[in-house]
Amino acid sequence: MRKPTAIPDFFIIGAPKCGTTALYEYLNDRPDIFMPAVKEPNFFATDLNVRRQIPDESTYFNLFRAARAGQLCGEGSVWHLFSTVACRNILAENPHAKFIALIRNPIDMAQSWHAQLVYSLWEKEDDFQTSWRLQDTPRKFPSYVDEPRLFRYRDVCALGSQIERFFETIPAEQRLVLVFDDLQHDTQKIYEQVINFLGIPQDGRTHFPRINERKSHAAQGIARLIRHLSNIFTPIKRALRRAYPHLPSSILKSLYDWQSRFETRPTLAPHFHDELKAAFSPEVRKLEKLLARDFSHWA
């Protein structure tokens, strides 16, 4: 076993709804990689209130205590990219850590992030356009919402500014930026690129199931009951995780999945789509400059 205080070798740092869960699952399948049961500990995002899973430092490091000698340790926390301090905090602990960021058309990302908030019963407004209009307005959120900044869709999806900060913080040889479109269109190629970046042998994998697709609740009443139970269990899980670090992130996930259904992303009204294009255009231009790539088909 590795030392209980060993810090991970690599971090999938976000962004949300950009393929981080899929990459986490693909890497977690490998015997030479150790990923903790808790996806998204967000431990190093000390400027955000997003660490519901992890009560303290010892609990975080204990997530990796079952890793075997020779395994690479990694984790996936989607708010480390949005955080202004997380990457610096990680480098202070492990100057040689490697970082993987995933980006996406910010219009699609914002719409998907809104759907995720609705599915999680955090966002009360089912209509994305209405939620977008409310993001700069003081709102009352459910009691279990710890970080209202996660509802500021414009900021959460400001990927150009986030990648710019990422480049300013992380040495070039320690960072990798992936595009969600590429992950969708040629998953094997992107997977092999990640494996090369991590410096471990290729395993010839060719099967990559789709993971974390857009979902809604088939029964809102059952979903609200599950959310209520989850809120009750959260402080219990935090306490238990000190002794049992491999408790899953959501012990009620199977119930959520049982009453969920997959759905397609709705088409935005043309005028609203144009508004989003204008809002995100400066961010897309930054990405084009930083990555030397044409994203004019985005915004």
Express each pLDDT in 27-40 by its tens digit: 999 999 999 988 89
Going along the chain from its start, the domains and CATH numbers come out as 10-291 (3.40.50.300)
| Residues forming beta bridges with residue 179, ordered by sequence position | 103
Mean pLDDT of the chain: 89
Angstrom CA distances, 155 to 133, 149, 173, 190, 266, stand at 14, 8, 27, 27, 22
Q: Which two tokens stand for residue 277?
A: 């294009």
For residue 200 the two structure tokens come to 């471990």
Q: How far apart are CA 96 and CA 196, in angstroms?
A: 16
Helix ranges restricted to H, 83-145? 86-93, 106-119, 128-134
Tens digit of each residue's pLDDT (9 = 90 or more) over 231-247: 666 676 666 666 666 66
Across 183-209, average pLDDT: 97
Provide the terminal-to-terminal Cα distance of the chain, rounded to the nearest Å. Answer: 48
| Per-residue confidence band for 223, with pLDDT thresholds at 50, 70 and 90 | low
pLDDT for residue 225 is more than 90: no
Predicted confidence at residue 229, as pLDDT, reads: 66
Pairing of strands 260-262, 215-217: antiparallel
| Four-residue CA torsion sign, 151, 213, 12, 164 | negative
Whether the predicted model's global pTM rises above the 0.75 cut? yes
C-alpha 273/C-alpha 277 separation (Å) is 6
- Report angle CA 180, 182, 187 to the nearest 5 degrees: 100
Q: What tens digit of pLDDT does each residue of 81-120 get?
A: 999 999 999 999 999 999 999 999 999 999 999 999 998 8
